[in-house]
Every structure is written in structure tokens, then in C-alpha cells.
Structure 1
Amino acid sequence: MNAEDPRPSPDADASERAPPLSIVIPAYNVAPYIEAAVRSALAQTMRDLEVVVVDDGSTDDTPRVLARLAAALDDPRLRILRQDNGGLSAARNAGILAARGEFIGLLDGDDVWLPQKAALHLGVMTGDPSIGLTFSHSEYMTEAGARSGDILLAGKAHPSLHDMIRRNHFGNGSTVVARRACFEEAGLFLPELRSCEDYEMWRRILWMTGYEAQLIPRPLTLYRLRESSLSFDSRKFVGYADMAMAILRRDMPNVPERVMRAGHAEHYRIAAWKAVSCGRRGDALALMLRALALRPFFLFTDWRALGAAVAIAAPQSLRDVLASTVKALQKSHSGVKSIMET
């Protein structure tokens, strides 16, 4: 890191006391979005917090936007660090190491927290010391920042380790607030994982610590849908997914193989859906076949897998209709599960 260690010394003045919550914002080439992310973190109804932004070697206007924002806000709760580019995991790790709070929230530099998120998460976590990870529902927003009203609902309120291996119930990297102790006991994000890093991290915490995960059943994160998602590289995603699953298999030998296979197949299903959404039907078909090799009855047990398979086989005009239908079904299905399980 191109900065001195920002952590306070043991004899720091009482006025430098640690706030209960540190919000860590990794930022890489997010100049159009980073101001909204930082302002949303500082605008929490819970005021006793700090915001640690880690500029991960941005080559766009991100450093200048952050400098102007810091000068305009003049808020002592905001700290901005800069390091050479190391990837999302390395940026998050730098922020976690610099953070002073007992609780650490993660907010990607292109997403937004709604004002009550911090208070609601800490209200649950301070009341129950067994909870190490909290997460919320998310609402999609456009690249320009307009709220869509479409909600990504978590499927389970108290996902177990096996639940989380089968599927990422946290949704995205901007929903989570974790106890610092989780990282102290289980370690930090793996820098070698440039994707699926959160998938591996949350499962490692549930495996290595005694902490549990708890849903805050409200949409408290705004997740930005960016045009760059159209350039989704299925080969890279699958490569990192395979690496993450290999790590889990190595480190969690007591987890049944059927659970691991289900999680592995889910990665391939996600990649297949993204590939067909980008118009790469050949890649999507190959990925779906890999999913079915791991779970032969996948199409009959998971409506999302069936929807992806039908989309791969359908012409473009029908795929557009199916995409809208699946989206509506997903909202309805997830909503019913959330009501039943919360």
C-alpha cells in the first residue's frame, strides 16, 4: 500500500476511539459511481462509523473524484487509501486491515447503501453474539443510478454452510456486514481469486468459526447493473469458480460430495445464463452440459436451470420473452420463500 499504516497506535487519544462500524469501499475505475457510494455510506442514520475507501490503482478519474469529494465533505469519518492495482480481494483486504470497527461492512464502489442499512444490521448483530454475518435483500438500479423496483430476494434467512455451498444466498458483495472476529479467525479474501472470492470467503467463515449468518429481510442495498456486464467472460468466471470449488473441497473434507457438486453445477448454470444473455449460445450450451454432468436431474429440480436450458435452445425473439418471464417468476418465487423462511 502506498500509505503509512492508518491504524491508530495503542496509545491513541480517546478522541480517536474506534467507531463500532467500518464501511470498506474498494474502488477501481469507478469515477462515475464512486461519489454516490461514498455519500450513501456517510449518510447512514447511524452516524458513529467510518468509511475506508481503497483506490485500487485506478487509471481513470477515480482519484480526482475522491480528492474533490473529500475536500468538499471535510468529514473526518472518511479515509481514502491508494494502492497499486491488486484486484478486488486485495482492495477489500487493505480496507479490512485499515478498519477500526468491531463490525465491517462491504460496499462496492459502484453500489449504494440505503440510509437505514447500518443501523438495522448492527441492531441485529449487537443483540446476538452468535451472528457473525448479516446480509440483506438488494434492489437493482440502472447504470445511471435510477432505482428499478426489481428486488433480488435472498432465498434463506439462516443459510447453513451446506446451503451456502449450494448457492450464494447473500446475492452480491455489497450486502454483507461481518464481525471483525470473522476475518481474524478465518483470514482474509484470497487475492488469487479475481471472481468468486466472496463465495469462498463466506463459506470459509461458516466452516472455520462458530458464527452464523442472518438475513435482514429488507432491500437495503442498491446493486448497479452496468453495461460492462455485457462483456462477461465465461471462461475466466468458470476458471475462478473451479479454483474456488477446489479450495473448498481441499479445506472442507467432511462436506458431502453431493453438496459440492450442487454448488459447482450452480456456478456453471450462472455462467450459462450470463453467456446466453450475451448472445454466446455455444458457450452457454457447453456450460449447461457441464452443470448437467454434475447434477443429471438439475433441469427437473431447479426451475432456474430449466429456464436457462430453454433460453439456450430458443431463438432470440423467444429468449427475450423468456427472460422477462423468468425475471417475474424469480421475484414471485423468491418472495414466497422469503415469507416462509423469515
Structure 2
Amino acid sequence: MLTKTPVASIVVPAYNVAATIAETLHSLLEQTFQDFEIIVVDDGSSDRTPEIVESFKDDRLRMVYQKNRGLAGAHNTGIYEARGEFVGFCDADDLWLPEKLERHIEHLRANPDVGISFAGSRMIDANGKPLGINQSPKLRGITVADIFKRNPIGNGSAAVMRRAALDDMAYRPAGETARDWWFDENFRQSDDIEGWLRFAVTTDWKIEGIPGLLTLYRIHMGGLSANVGTQFATWTRMRDKIGRIVPAVVERHGPAATAYQLRYLCRRAVSMRDGDMAWDYCRQSLAASRKPLIEEPVKTAITVAASLTLKLLGKPAYLMAERNILRA
């Protein structure tokens, strides 16, 4: 156990991640900035996750156990336990490049008005193979509309925050006696975007990115189907909650944000090669708002074409067309 207070804390929520947790922890322990602690929050795992974490003999690593509270609950417990001036988040199946923590701390120290520092990500598959897809978001001048529509932070393993900024977004809901909440545990999905939006509309801190693709974000294709089935309903609940806090934001940007979310779900359905689902989300997106078509015409047109091709021609013809495009 560390006896001195570390500069940074890295929170790792972990639930039944025996297949990936060791690789994740190795990537974190190999950071070029070494004055940190890692807090693994075991969220009621029933596999070998705790055993694997306990096999690491490093004083910077400790594990906290709790009954299952979901991802937001694991994040909240980790933040509560964190002692660092800076707090980063890494899901237990993702990886950080060695320089990630150092670069974010440099960024935050150089910009005292920035509360959340983030960077882009590369997508990898379940086996760690690059998918050739990157998240390269807008980095500067981040507005509430940007977060609502496109969530430039991108995923749960991209952000490193200033502890003071975290404390400014904390609240204690009725019935909670153990600790504050930073992320809303009523959301099993969309908890991160809810947190970033609430952070943006209730604090004065800036959200800013740095260049580079510093996170390897793992995509589990087998889990996408169940997620797509419930994600839009959860996102809509999140949108409605933000609407109660700042009605003007949702009134102005809600239709476009809804269209972007539906376009995202369409692209996930295309990834699953489900033409009926993809085209249904595509039509809903276009009906909600034409803003994605105006603001991002190329990406939106490609999404429409892919979903329509998959719907009309089926999976075999779509895969052949996709291969031909890649060879061109």
C-alpha cells in the first residue's frame, strides 16, 4: 500500500473481466508517469477477476469490493477511494498507451481552467486486433451542444479529470448514506454522457482534448445486439433528465442530438450486419433532424448508403460490396 499521497489515481471498474483485466492492468502499470495508484473496483464479479487482480504484487494497485451497482456505481466508489489530484478512468477491457497519463497531467497542469482532459482512441476487437477505426474527436472549443450531439470524450477510458472538478459535480441523492455520486447510478447505460453533460451545464470548468489516439478501446461484437436494443431508451431518459436541468439546451439541440444518437445506433446495426435494424434507425434519424446530413454530410451519406444496401441486398451482397470498396 502506498504510504504517500499519489499525484494521480486511475479508477478501473471491473465486472467479470477475467479475460482482459490482466492486459489492462499491465498497460496502466507501464505508464511513463509513475506517481499514481490504481483502484480496481470489483463490482460483484463471479469469475476469476478478483483472483487475477490479487496476483499483481504492486504497491500502487489496490482492490475495492462491492455488491453489483453497475458501471456508474463502480466509478463512484473508485472516485470516493481515490486520493490523487488527478483521476483517470480505464475500463477493464481497454488499454492505455504508455504516455497517456503523463500527457494528460501535463495538459491539466498547463491549463488550470480545464477540468476534463481527453484524447482520441483506436478501436480493437475482442482479441486486441486493430479494427482500422479511430475516434478522432473535436478537441477545442467544446460546447454543451458538442457533448450532447457527438460526445467528443468518446468512451469511458478516454478522460482524465482534475479532482477539484470532480468535487464540483458531486451530489448526494436521497437515500444514499455511504458516499456522494458523481455519475448517476440510475443509468446502466448512458451514465457517462449524462455525467459529462451535467458537468458542462452545472460547473464552470472547460472540457478539452489533446492530440493523439491514446486509448485502445475494445469492441465486443457479440454484446452489441443486446446493447442496441436498450440503448436508445436509456439515452432518451438521460436526455429528459438534462431537459429538466436546462430545458433550453434540450429544446434547442434535442432533435439534432436525437438524430446523431440514432445514426450511431444505425452504424452499430450495420456492424452487426442487421439490415432491418440498421435501416429502421437510419429512417428514424433522418426523421428526427437533418442536422447530421448538413453538419457531417459524408459520414451521414455513407451511413445511409450502408444501411440501405444491407437492407435491400442482404448480408452476402453487402459484404462483397464492402470488400470491393476496400480494394478500390
Same-fold call, TM cutoff 0.5 = yes
Letter in 2 for 1:259: H
For 2:210, the equivalent position in structure 1 comes to 216
Indicate whether 1:182 and 2:165 are aligned. yes
SS at match of 2:185: coil
Task: Provide the C-alpha distance between the structure 1 equivalents of 2:121 and 2:241, rounded to a whole number of angstroms.
Answer: 28
Task: Provide the C-alpha distance between the structure 2 equivalents of 1:180 and 1:325, rounded to a whole number of angstroms.
Answer: 49
Task: Provide the C-alpha distance between the structure 1 equivalents of 2:130 and 2:287, rounded to a whole number of angstroms.
Answer: 39
SS at match of 2:78: helix
5 Å-filtered alignment, 1:144-183, equals 144-147=127-130, 150-183=133-166
Q: Select which of 239, 244, 257 maps to 1:263.
A: 257
5 Å-filtered alignment, 1:80-229, equals 80-147=63-130, 150-187=133-170, 188-229=182-223
Q: 124-133 or 309-318, which moves further after superposition?
A: 309-318
Q: 234-243 or 180-189, which moves further after superposition?
A: 180-189
Contact 2:89–2:156 (Cα < 8 Å) also in 1: yes
5 Å-filtered alignment, 1:24-35, equals 24-35=11-22
Q: Select which of 262, 278, 282 maps to 2:276.
A: 282
TM-score by length of 2: 0.87
For 2:46, the equivalent position in structure 1 comes to 59
Task: Provide the C-alpha distance between the structure 1 equivalents of 2:216 and 2:206, rounded to a whole number of angstroms.
Answer: 24
Of all paired residues, the percent bearing the same amino acid is 32
Task: Provide the C-alpha distance between the structure 2 equivalents of 1:228 and 1:248, rounded to a whole number of angstroms.
Answer: 31
Q: Report the alpha carbon displacement of residue 250 of structure 1 after superposing the two structures with TM.
A: 1.2
For 1:41, the equivalent position in structure 2 comes to 28
Indicate whether 1:21 and 2:20 are aligned. no
Q: Report the alpha carbon displacement of residue 199 of structure 1 after superposing the two structures with TM.
A: 0.9
Task: Provide the C-alpha distance between the structure 2 equivalents of 1:325 and 1:27, rounded to a whole number of angstroms.
Answer: 40
Letter in 2 for 1:101: G
Contact 1:232–1:274 (Cα < 8 Å) also in 2: no
Task: Provide the C-alpha distance between the structure 1 equivalents of 2:212 and 2:292, rounded to a whole number of angstroms.
Answer: 30
Indicate whether 1:251 and 2:245 are aligned. yes
Contact 2:97–2:215 (Cα < 8 Å) also in 1: yes
Task: Provide the C-alpha distance between the structure 1 equivalents of 2:215 and 2:246, rounded to a whole number of angstroms.
Answer: 31
RMSD, aligned α-carbons: 2.3
User: 1:7-62 CA deviation, whole Å, 9 max, x = no partner?
Assistant: xxxxxxxx733212100000111101101111211211111110000011111221
Letter in 1 for 2:161: A
Letter in 1 for 2:299: R
Task: Provide the C-alpha distance between the structure 1 equivalents of 2:291 and 2:97, rounded to a whole number of angstroms.
Answer: 40
Q: Report the alpha carbon displacement of residue 306 of structure 1 after superposing the two structures with TM.
A: 2.2
Q: Report the alpha carbon displacement of residue 173 of structure 1 after superposing the two structures with TM.
A: 0.9
User: 1:227-279 CA deviation, whole Å, 9 max, x = no partner?
Assistant: 43443432311111111111111111232623122112111111122123323
For 2:175, the equivalent position in structure 1 comes to none
- Unpaired runs of 5+ residues, structure 2, are 171-181
SS at match of 1:16: coil
Contact 2:138–2:209 (Cα < 8 Å) also in 1: no
Q: 1:151 to 1:272 in 2, by over 3 A?
A: closer
TM-score by length of 1: 0.84
